[in-house]
């Protein structure tokens, strides 16, 4: 299976049990994803007009392939704290039979392209994959970027929900990390849900619900999938693995996936994530030694802050 574009270990960058909804989804709140571009006056617009080019819409949805999914669960893993959600989503794509079905391009993404091993470029976008995970069909959303503005987050999340609805999804897991400010060898998984009836199954799977945590709430697409998704009738939850907040964290991604395994009833291998976790451990040990030498501390002193 082809691997996705995974973040490298040296990158310092900075989640729903399937429960029947009590009420029918409120279609009136759903905006279709054929979003029209807001007219603006800019040099680019003038140049495009002069050369007869319309340019791209503010959000464009490209269908890459068709997929026959049976009541899929939307799994979101976009970049965030410790790349926890992104690592988890990409691991699902790599370990199971998966197929790229949709790309979403948006002016809200950074003005850049990625370059593959052959030197070929690709405009920044988010991707949806159809994933066959044993007893569950998954619709996995991932990418390299999030929106750059508050309004952009709302518009993109609304588009993501429309795509999920078109695929037949009615439940969502947003995956991410929650920063602790220190290194944790055995991270816990925190949860947030759109309805109290969802908590019991998640607690049985090892998820903790802590009063007031995460502090400051859940931001970005992960938060809005619960906020907007809940208003539209989706059963949604966010699974957040504890992470330092300073390093890419494969260990936290694994504990989040272990919860998802238990809830959705699939099994996945973790060899590649465990290998990356060992690589990260070596990086941390070297940083500890460097910090200890600079501060005159023992090499095994706890490294709580990096940078």
Q: Examine residue 24 and state whether it is found in any structural domain, yes or no.
A: no
Of the CA atoms within 13 Å of residue 133, those in its CB half-sphere come to 30
Q: What is the pLDDT of residue 297?
A: 57
Q: What is the pLDDT of residue 79?
A: 97
Q: How far apart are CA 68 and CA 301, in angstroms?
A: 53
Q: Which of 150, 13, 18, 19 is nearest to 85 (CA)?
A: 13
Decide if pLDDT at 29 tops 70: no
CATH number at residue 128: 3.40.50.10900
Q: How far apart are CA 81 and CA 68, in angstroms?
A: 33
Q: Identify whether the C-beta of residue 60 lies closer than 8 Å to the C-beta of residue 155.
A: no
Q: How far apart are CA 232 and CA 216, in angstroms?
A: 24
Q: What is the pLDDT of residue 287?
A: 82
Q: Examine residue 174 and state whether it is found in any structural domain, yes or no.
A: yes
For the stretch 191-220, pLDDT in tens is 999 999 999 999 999 999 999 899 889 999
Q: What are phi and psi of 284, to 5 degrees?
A: -65, -40
Q: What is the pLDDT of residue 281?
A: 87
Give 13's contacts (C-beta < 8 A, 6+ positions apart): 7, 79, 83, 248
Q: Examine residue 12 and state whether it is found in any structural domain, yes or no.
A: no
9-13, 34-38, 115-119, 227-231: which has the minimum mean pLDDT?
34-38
Q: Which of 144, 173, 106, 108 is nearest to 11 (CA)?
A: 144
Q: Examine residue 304 and state whether it is found in any structural domain, yes or no.
A: no
For the stretch 248-305, pLDDT in tens is 999 999 999 999 999 999 999 999 999 999 998 888 888 878 877 777 655 444 433 3
Q: How far apart are CA 75 and CA 171, in angstroms?
A: 9
Domain total of the chain:
1
Q: Examine residue 277 and state whether it is found in any structural domain, yes or no.
A: no
> Which residues on adjacent β-strands are paired with residue 62?
103
| Residue 267 to residues 99, 155, 262, Cα–Cα distance (Å) | 19, 34, 8
Q: Identify whether the C-beta of residue 142 lies closer than 8 Å to the C-beta of residue 90.
A: yes
Q: Identify whether the C-beta of residue 154 lies closer than 8 Å to the C-beta of residue 223.
A: no
For the stretch 39-78, pLDDT in tens is 333 434 433 444 345 678 899 999 999 999 999 999 999 9
Phi-psi bin for 255: left (phi > 0), alpha (psi -120 to 50), beta? alpha
Q: Examine residue 20 and state whether it is found in any structural domain, yes or no.
A: no
Q: Which of 259, 219, 194, 185 is nearest to 80 (CA)?
A: 219
Question: 134 falls in which pLDDT band (50, 70, 90)?
Answer: confident
Q: Examine residue 40 and state whether it is found in any structural domain, yes or no.
A: no
- The domain in which residue 136 lies consists of 57-270
- Give the residue with greater pLDDT, 213 vs 37: 213
| Residue 77 to residues 51, 53, 92, 128, Cα–Cα distance (Å) | 39, 34, 10, 10
Q: What is the pLDDT of residue 49?
A: 42
Q: Examine residue 279 and state whether it is found in any structural domain, yes or no.
A: no
């Amino acid at each position: 299976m082809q691997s996705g574009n995974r973040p490298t270990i040296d990158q310092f960058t900075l989640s729903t049990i399937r429960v029947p909804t009590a009420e029918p989804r409120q279609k009136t709140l759903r905006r279709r994803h054929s979003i029209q571009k807001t007219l603006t006056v800019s040099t680019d617009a003038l140049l495009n007009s002069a050369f007869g080019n319309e340019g791209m819409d503010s959000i464009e949805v490209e269908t890459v392939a068709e997929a026959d999914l049976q009541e899929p669960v939307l799994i979101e893993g976009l970049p965030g704290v410790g790349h926890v959600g992104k690592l988890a989503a990409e691991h699902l794509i790599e370990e199971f039979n998966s197929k790229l079905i949709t790309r979403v391009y948006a002016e809200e993404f950074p003005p850049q392209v990625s370059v593959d091993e052959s030197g070929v470029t690709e405009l920044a976008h988010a991707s949806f994959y159809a994933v066959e995970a044993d007893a569950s069909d998954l619709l996995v959303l991932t990418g390299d970027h999030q929106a750059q503005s508050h309004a952009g987050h709302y518009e993109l999340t609304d588009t993501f929900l429309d795509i999920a609805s078109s695929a037949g999804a009615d439940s969502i897991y947003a995956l991410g990390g929650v920063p602790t400010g220190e290194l944790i060898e055995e991270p816990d998984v925190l949860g947030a849900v759109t309805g109290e009836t969802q908590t019991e199954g998640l607690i049985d799977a090892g998820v903790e619900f802590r009063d007031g945590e995460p502090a400051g709430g859940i931001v970005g697409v992960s938060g809005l999938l619960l906020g907007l998704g809940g208003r539209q009738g989706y059963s949604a939850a966010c699974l957040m693995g504890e992470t330092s907040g300073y390093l890419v964290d494969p260990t936290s991604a694994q504990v989040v996936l272990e919860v998802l395994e238990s809830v959705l009833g699939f099994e996945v291998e973790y060899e590649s994530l465990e290998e990356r976790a060992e690589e990260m451990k070596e990086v941390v040990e070297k940083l500890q030694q460097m910090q200890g030498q600079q501060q005159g501390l023992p090499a095994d002193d706890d490294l709580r802050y990096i940078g």
